[in-house]
Structure 1
Amino acid sequence: MASQPQAAGKRRGASAVVTDPPRPRAATASRVVVRTSGGLVAGERAGHVAAFRGVPYARPPLGALRFASPRPPEPWNGVREATHFTDVSFQSVIPNRPVPPSSEDSLYANVWTPDPGGSRPVLVYIHGGGWQAGAGSMPAYDGARLAQRGGLVVVTFNYRLGALGFGLHEDLTDPDTGHFANWGLQDQEALLRWVHANAAAFGGDPGNITVCGTSAGGATAWQLALLPGLRGLIRRIVSISPSHVTPPATSLTPEDCRTAYQAVARRLGTTVAELREVPAAALVGAWEEIFAPPLEDRIVGSGRWYRGPVVDGRTMPAYDHLLPTPGVPVLSIHTSTEGSFYTGPASPQPLPAPRDDAELRRAVHDVLRLGEPDTDGTLADACAAAYRAAARDAGAPCDPRSLWTEIWGDAFFRHQIVRFAERHARLGTTPLYAMEFAHPALPPHFGTPHEATSPFLFGTHRLPQFAPVFGDGPVERLLSDILIDAVAAFARTSAPHTPNTPDWPPFTPDAPSTLVLGGPGIAEVARTPKLAQLGFWDAVGWAPRL
C-alpha cells in the first residue's frame, strides 16, 4: 500500500565487481562469500542472517535485449560485492507511491539465509504492484526476520513491469526463443531456474522451493505453478490476495495489446519492432497516454484497471480459471477487507469516499464497469442493496464507505479467491489451506487492507514507517510470529501447522476450515466469513466464472 515506500537503489550491477581474491571469513566476520553459477558474490552477515543484495539472475535487458527473453548473466571474475540493492525495474509514478531510481538494468535477486551451509527450504517471494510498480527491495520485504525465525532461505527479486514487462506483439518476437509476450513472467521463470541452480550455494534445498507472492505476485505464483515447464521445480505455492487476470479489468486481450503497441509506435514515429531503440521513458509515457482517457474514450476495451499478463499460449496458455487447478499444495491467504486498500487513506487510486446513497450508486457503478463495461445503474442498485442487506443481517457497518469497500474488495479479490479455493477442493489432488487475515489497521486507515499481510509475513510491521499503520505491540508481534511460523511450516511440510494455531484442516467449503488470523480469538478455525456477499457475484455471472 502507499505507506510502504520502496527502497532507493544504491548500486548498479557492473560497478559492484572487484578483482581481489576473497578474504578468509574470519578476517572480516561480517563478510560472507559464496560461489554462484555466475561467479563469487560477497554478502554481509548481520546478527543471525547473511544477506546478499543485487545478485544478477539474468543479463540486463537493454538495447537489443529489450522485449527479449531473459538471458543468463554474464559470468564475472573476482568477487562481486552484493551488499546494496540495485535500481528497481523501470516504472512510472503512481499516486502516493514514491518511486526510487528505476532502470531497465534491474534483473537482480536478493537472498537472506541463516547460513550458507545446510539445506533449508527456499521461499521465493514475488512482489505485487499491479504488474506495473514495486520491487523486491521495498522495505516491507526485508527478508531477515522471515529467514531467521522461519529457518528459510528467502529470495526477493525484480522483474520487468508495465509496457516493458507485460504485453504481446509478434513484431517483438525473440529470434532465439520465439517468445513475443509477457517478459515479466519470463523473468520470473528465469529467476526460479536461477534459484534452483544456486540454492545450495546459499544453504537452500533446490528440491524444496516454495513460491509466494502478494497481489500481482500472488496471481503470478498461481500462474507459474500451472506452467508445464516448471513442473517439479515448484514444490508448493503461497498465493496471497491475488487478482487473477481476466479481461477486461486486469488484462489486455491479445488483439487489444497489438493495437496498443501499434498506437505507441505511431505516437513515437517508429515501428513496433523499433520500440527496442526508443528511450524507455518515451515508450512508457506513450503507453500510459493510451490508457489515460476515460474508459469509454480509449482505443481498446480491455486492460481497464490493471494490465497484467496476456494469454499467449506459452507463458500464459490460458486464463487461470480455464486451466486445471495447480498440482501442488496451496496456502491461499486473503484479507478480511481487501477493498480498504483502495478506499482508505493513501490509496494508489485516490477517490473521495461516497457520502450518501447517490454517491454510493455512482461509485459502485464505476467499480462494476471495470469488469462489465456495458453495465447500467440497475446492477449497481442491486449490488448495493445486496451488500446492505448482508451487512445488516451480520450486524456489520452499512454506511456508504463501508459498503463501497466491501464491494470493491470482493469484486476483484475475495470472490475469486474463495471460489478458486472451492474449485481446488472439488477438483484438486493436493491440499489447499485457507487463511483470512483479519487484524485491523490503525485509524485513519480501516479494515484489513489488501497488502496488510506483507509487513506481518516479513516482520517489518515494526519499522517506523509501518508501525503507525499496523501497530507494533505484543498482539502484532504474536500475529507476525504465527504467520511466519505457518508459512515456514508449509514450506517445510506442506501443512501450515504451528504451536499457536488450532487444528487447521485442509479447506473444505462446507466445514469450518478457514483460519481467521487476527480476529478476536487471535487464531480461530471458522467457516469462510461473509459468504452471503459473494452470492451476488455468482448470481450476476461475474468473471471469472468458475
Structure 2
Amino acid sequence: MTTTVSSGATTIVHTTAGRIAGAREGEIVAFRGVPYAEPPTGELRFASPRPPAPWHGVRDATRFSPPFVQAAPAHSSEDALYANVWTPDPAGRRSVLVYIHGGGWQVGAGSVPTFDGARLAAAGGIVVVNFNYRLGMFGWGLHEAYTDPVTGLAANWGLQDQVALLRWVRENAAAFGGDPDDITLCGTSAGGATAWQLALMPELKGTVRRLVSISAAHPWQPAFALTPDDSRTAYETIAHRLGTDPKGLREVPAPLLHEEWTRFFSGSPGAREVGSGREYRGPVLDGRLVTAYPHDLPTPDVPLMTIYNRTEGSFFTDPLSPSFPPAPPAPTDHAELREAVRGVLRKMTPRVDDGLVDACVDAYRGTAAPTGRDEELRDLWTEVWGDGLFRHRIVRLAERHARTGTTPQYVMEFAHPTRAPHFGTPHDATSKFLFGSHRLPLHAEQFGDGPLERRISRNFAELVSTFVREGRPRSEDVPDWPVFAPDRPTTLVLGGETVASVALTPKRQQLRFWDEAGCLPVP
C-alpha cells in the first residue's frame, strides 16, 4: 500500500512491514530509523539479512538508529540495519537516489550529519535514501562455518545488506513518493566501490538504473581486501584467542569481537599474521557475490558519473584531517621522503625494494611543477598516496569504459581547495558539497561557507540531481559537460574561483608510473 496520511507535522506511510510516522521538516518529509532487515544478532550474526518482521500500529520514524558497531560513537550497535529517507512529497513519483556511506568498510553511518539528505532532496526534487550496513568483521569477511542455510552464502554480509536495502527500496519507494523503476545508486570511497560492484550484479539488473561512483576505493588484494585464506585465518585465530571456534564467535559480545579484530590488524602490515587487507578489509572473493574485482570485470552497463578529488591523498597526509589513523609526520628531507613513499607502497604490495621507491619518487618529481615551497616534499608524498590508492584505478576504469562500454559516462575532478592550514582537495571532500554539509560547524573551518562554497555546492547538487532525474548532468553555472573521451577535453573540473571548466584529464602523466610499477592492478 502507498496510502499517505498527514496530520500537522506528522506524516504516516505504509511500508511492506507496517506503518511508519515521519516528520515534515521545511520542504521535505524525513523518515529516520526505518528497518530494512532484521537485527543481525544471535544466530543472524554472520548470516544473510532477513526481511524486517512486520509490526502492528504506527512505528515512530523520526529518530536515527544507532550506527553499526565501531570504535566510536559509544552507542554503536549490531541492531543497526535501518534506512533513512528524505522526500519532497510522499504522494509524488520522483527519481530516487540511494547513497552508500564510506569509511573503509570499518566506520560510518547514515546518521552522520555530513550525509543528511534534506537539502539534496529539496533542491533536486528527488527522494534521497541512505542507510547503515554491517562493518568490520561483522560485514566483510569469509568463513564456511557461517554458511547460511537459506542462501548458501558465507561471506560479505555488508554487501548482502546493501543488496537487501536496494530490494527494500524497490518494494517501498512508492510509499515515500519515489519511482521504483528509477533508482540511481551513489556512494563515496568504500561506498563508491560497492556501488560499482552492485551495479554489476545480474540479480540487480533493472533495479540500478544509473550509477554515481565517487572516489571509489576499488578493492583488490592485498591492499583493500583479504584473500579467502587470510579471512579464514583471521576468524580462526580470533576464535582461538577467545577460547572458542568460529561458530562460537556468534556468542561473543560485539564490542569484544570488534576490539579483537582491530588488534589483529593493528601495526605494520608486514608484521601481521596475514599479508592481505593491508590498508582496508573490504569485499572478499567468495565466488558468488564477488566473483572478481573491478579490474577483471566489465564496467557497469548503466549510465555513469565517475568522480574523484584533485588530491585524494591529502585526507591521509593532513595532520588536521579526521582520518583514522592520524596522518604521520610529513617528510622534511629526501631521506624522509623516500621512507614516506616506501610506507605508501607497502600498503599495496609486500615487496618494496629501493629500486621501486626511487622509481616512484623520480617519476613524481619528473612530472611535478617545481614551486620552491617547503611543502613540495609533502605534496609529492600526498600525490603518491592519493594516486596509488585511488585516482589511478578510477581514471583507468573510466578510460576503459570509454573504450569498451556502451553507456554514457561523465567524469569529474572535484577541485575546490580546502582552507588553510588544510591543503588540497582531500578524499571525501565531495560529500560535504553534494549534501551541502560544508556549512555545518564541524566542516566549515576546513571547507568554508562563503558565497563561492555555496555556489559550488549548489552546482554540484544540481549536476547530480539532473543526472538522477534525466541521465545527463547540467547546471546553470557549468559549461556543457560532454560524454567522457580520454583524449579530448571532456573532464569537468569543478571548484575554485572559475567554478567549472572542461579539460583534458588533469595530471595524466603522473599515473603512468603505476601502469608499469607492478604493484597495482591495471584495468
TM range (shorter): over 0.9
Is 1:417 the counterpart of 2:394 in the alignment? yes
TM-score, normalised by the number of residues in structure 2: 0.97
Determine the C-alpha separation between the residues in 2 that align with 1:202 and 1:295: 46
Residue pair 1:391, 1:397 contacting (<8 A) in 2 also: no
Aligned with residue 134 of structure 2, among 160, 179, 182: 160
Aligned to 1:139: 113
1:480 and 2:457 matched: yes
Do residues 30 (structure 1) and 4 (structure 2) align?
A: no
Residues 270-314 of structure 1, C-alpha deviations (whole Å, 9 max, x = no match): 111121111112222222222124222211110011000101011
Deviation of the 1:23 alpha carbon: 11
Residues 543 and 23 (structure 1), Cα distance of their counterparts in 2 relative to 1, 3 Å cut = closer
State the alpha-carbon separation in 2 of the partners of residues 332 and 397 from structure 1: 33
Deviates more, 1:373-382 or 1:415-424: 373-382
Residues 221 and 227 in structure 2, CA contact (< 8 A), matched pair in contact too:
yes
Q: Deviations over 1:326-359 (max 9, x none)?
A: 0011100000000000001233222111111111
- Sequence identity of aligned pairs in percent? 61
**Equivalent in the alignment of 1:348:** 324
2:435 maps to 1:458: yes
Report if the CA contact (8 A) 1:88-1:100 is conserved.
no
Contact 2:4 2:91 in 1 (8 A): no
Q: Distance in 1 between matches of 2:186 and 2:33?
A: 20
Note the 1:251-290 alignment, pairs <5 A: 251-290=225-264
Q: Distance in 2 between matches of 1:515 and 1:456?
A: 16
Report the residue type matching 1:308 in the other structure.
G
Correspondence 1:432 to 2:409: yes
TM-score scaled by length of structure 1 = 0.93
- Find the counterpart in structure 2 of residue 60 from structure 1: 39
| Correspondences of 1:166-245 after superposition (within 5 Å) | 166-245=140-219
- Determine the structure 1 residue equivalent to 2:513: 536
Residue from 63, 66, 85 that aligns with 2:64? 85
Question: How far apart, CA to CA, are the structure 2 residues paired with 1:23 and 1:69?
Answer: 32
Mapped contact 1:482–1:500 kept (Cα < 8 A) = yes
Residue 48 (structure 1) shift: 0.5
* 1:343-386 Cα distance to aligned partner (Å, 9 max, x none): 01233222111111111100000100111211112211221121
Matches for 1:109-120 after TM superposition, within 5 Å = 109-120=83-94
Contact 1:388 1:398 in 2 (8 A): no
CA contact (8 A) 1:392 1:398 kept: no
SS at match of 1:88: coil
2:390 and 2:522 map into 1 onto residues whose CA distance is: 14
**Paired letter, 2:158:** G
State the distance in 2 between where 1:282 and 1:466 align: 32
State the SS of the aligned residue for 1:318. coil
Distance 1:520 1:435 in 2: 17
Aligned partners of 1:240, 1:510: CA distance in 2, in Å?
22
> Shift in Å at residue 198 of structure 1?
0.3
| Shift in alpha-carbon separation, 1:357–1:197, aligned structure 2, 3 A | same
Counterpart of 1:312 (choices 267, 277, 286) is 286
Measured in 2, the distance between the counterparts of 1:373 and 1:383 equals: 16
2 CA distance for matches of 1:520 and 1:474? Answer: 11
In structure 2, the partner of 1:7 is none
Tell me how far apart the structure 1 counterparts of residues 5 and 207 of structure 2 sit (CA, whole Å).
34
| Rounded Cα–Cα distance in structure 1 between residues aligned with 2:491 and 2:92 | 34
Q: Which residue among 310, 329, 335 is the counterpart of 1:336?
A: 310
Alignment RMSD, CA only? Answer: 1.5
Q: In structure 2, do the counterparts of structure 1 residues 343 and 30 end up closer, same or farther at CA, with 3 Å as the change threshold?
A: same
Q: Which amino acid aligns with 1:84?
A: R
* 2:208 partner SS: coil
The equivalent of 2:484 in structure 1 is 507
The alignment status of 1:72 with 2:51, answered yes or no, reads: yes
Q: 2:24 aligns with which of 26, 33, 45?
A: 45
Identify the residue that residue 342 of structure 2 maps to in structure 1.
365
Distance in 2 between the 1:185 and 1:229 partners? 13
SS of equivalent residue, structure 1 residue 481: helix
Cα gap change, 1:396 to 1:122, in 2 (>3 Å): farther
TM-fit CA distance, 1:396? 9.4
